[in-house]
Amino acid sequence: MPSLPPPRHAAVRLIPMTLAAIMAAVALAACTGTATPSASASPSGSPGGSLGPSAAPSASASSAVGAIDHKTGATDVVLRLESGGGFVPIDFLASQAPTFTLFGNGVIVFQRKVETIPEPDASGVTHGIPWRTATLDENQVQELLEFAITQGALGTARDVYMGNIADAPSTIFTIRAGGLDKTVTINGLSEDSSQGPDALARAAFFKLSERLRDFDHGGTIDSDVYEPTGYRAVLMDRESAAPAIDWPWPSIKLSEFVDPNGVAGGIQLRHRVMTPTEVASLGIKEVAGGLQGVVLKTPDGPIVGLILRPLLADEQE
């Protein structure tokens, strides 16, 4: 397997910063309307491959005096970007997943930025965009966290930023580093953030989201296809459907798919964790990015739709 190229900022020395210094930089950027210069980190080292739970307890990484502290476990989420909400079909809600995640051990899992949304194939099945994975070294982790906290404005962000567009999706950041442990939700984030009291903050959030959404610069940086150790399988009732696949799991009962958060009379997202072997029983190729539009005939006769979504290292169900 080819090694990943050295980071583009290899010639730039990482300057350790205390959280106080970082906050001061954020404040200065907000006052002047400019951001602290920062090089872009590229993945380096061997790609991460399949993720599993950490065998060792989480620790705190601080490779230099004043470095940004963060946990180092394989299941510790340090920085995450995802989108949610808005006026979208229920299938998309059932398959919602983070676009980018940095784990404590430096492993990143992300979806490449695409210009067109995948279309259903001849059988009506839509194959999701496969996640990619690689590993950042600690210098690259530090640079990315500094960027997120300062130029990305997460260091001083409040929890929620409401937008003016009804049913617009929200951009959601999670950061757990440098003394921060928070989720920031921005409704209706877009490049046009030139007006309003939160214009500077929204511009910073958009800059960070664009970096994370195109982290490998259009595929120009080597990475591996992420191979999940499990999938979330969601079943939804269908009134009518195209030709259905016979139920492929003789030992799995329909009653094993449950929605513990479902409300009677409301939307039910009955789900179960499936192993790669169980998923393979469907006889469908290219499932790494998940599936939508699969139609199954259950043992008792009802027709259901199946949605598959890969699970990440921190997800248990």
CATH of region 19-51+58-213, choose from 1.10.10.10, 3.40.50.300, 3.40.640.10, 3.30.1560.10: 3.30.1560.10
pLDDT category of residue 95 using cuts at 50, 70 and 90: confident
What is the predicted pLDDT for the residue at 17? 42
- ∠ CA 50-212-143, nearest 5°, is 90
Percentage of the residues of the chain whose pLDDT score is greater than 90:
49
Sign of CA dihedral 223, 225, 229, 235: positive
Name which residue leads in pLDDT, 150 or 193.
150
Secondary structure class of 187 (helix, strand, coil) = strand
Instruction: State pLDDT tens for residues 193-242.
Output: 667 889 999 999 999 999 999 999 988 888 999 999 999 999 988 776 66
Give residue limits of the domains in the chain: 19-51+58-213, 229-310
Residue 126 has pLDDT above 80, yes or no: yes
Of all helices (H) and strands (E), which one includes residue 237?
A: strand 231-237
Average pLDDT of span 125-134: 92
CA separation, residue 274 to residues 229, 271, 281, 283 (Å): 9, 9, 11, 14
How much is the pTM?
0.78
Instruction: State pLDDT tens for residues 235-283.
Output: 988 776 667 889 999 999 999 999 887 766 666 788 999 999 999 999 9
